[in-house]
Amino acid sequence: MVIMIRDDYNIERFEIDLSMDEILDNYINFEKTEKLCRKCRCHSNNWTCPPFDSNQIIVWENYDNIKLILLKFNFTNKARQKQFDESEIMEYAFNLHHGEKTLIEPELKKLEKQLNGYYLTCGPCVNCKTCQRLTNGKCIMPEKRKYAMEALGANVIKLSKDFFHLDLQWIKNNTLPEYIIMMVSVLY
């Protein structure tokens, strides 16, 4: 169901509640995702990205259930015809994810409270303009920082495919694909 229309895309929303037992063994593997994280510019540069300053990955085991929320951004034909250069498209994708993440976070905070849970988001923490990790400092808001599911070992590709029947699409040749997704969750 389309829940929102923006200039370049519309948004569909999908949601499912699962028991943690259903995902722990087959969908959470920190060693595997950490290897992929190493290719990202945020690895070692943000306190919500590996390697961590404390054992964050045990968080999965502290909860019995998970609410997965997947947003699918379907680009318009006009947006898909736009030719970006490499830095422009990276900036576009970052701004899209960051903007949409900011919009969904109040709901996640509410759910976290209602369910006495803990929410996971997507992408690195942007609470500070520059993460203190880049200046070799300690995190200045550890109670406010939130982790991306994939940073803690979630296989978002497999979760999308198995529970929402969606194959992920990627930006290629500096143009937008048919859609991209964003997955967030609340552990409870």
Question: Using CB under 6 A as the criterion, which residues of the chain lie in contact with ligand SF4 when the complex forms?
Answer: 46-48, 125, 127-128, 131-133, 139-141, 144-145
| Closest to ligand SF4 by CB, 77 or 136 | 136
| Closest to ligand SF4 by CB, 49 or 68 | 49
| Nearest distance in Å: CB 147, ligand SF4 | 9
| Nearest distance in Å: CB 54, ligand SF4 | 12
| Closest to ligand SF4 by CB, 99 or 177 | 99
**Contact between 138 and 164 (Cβ < 8 Å):** no
| Closest to ligand SF4 by CB, 72 or 145 | 145
| Nearest distance in Å: CB 152, ligand SF4 | 14
Report the alpha-carbon angle 33-166-88, nearest 5.
70
CA distances, 111 to each of 58, 118, 120, 152 (Å): 21, 9, 11, 20
| Nearest distance in Å: CB 100, ligand SF4 | 18
**Contact between 163 and 18 (Cβ < 8 Å):** yes
Helices (H), the chain: 20-27, 30-37, 77-81, 86-114, 156-164
| Closest to ligand SF4 by CB, 12 or 34 | 34
| Nearest distance in Å: CB 140, ligand SF4 | 5
Give the separation between CA 45 and CA 144, rounded to whole angstroms: 17
User: Who contacts 96 (Cβ-Cβ below 8 Å, separation ≥6)?
Assistant: 9, 73, 180
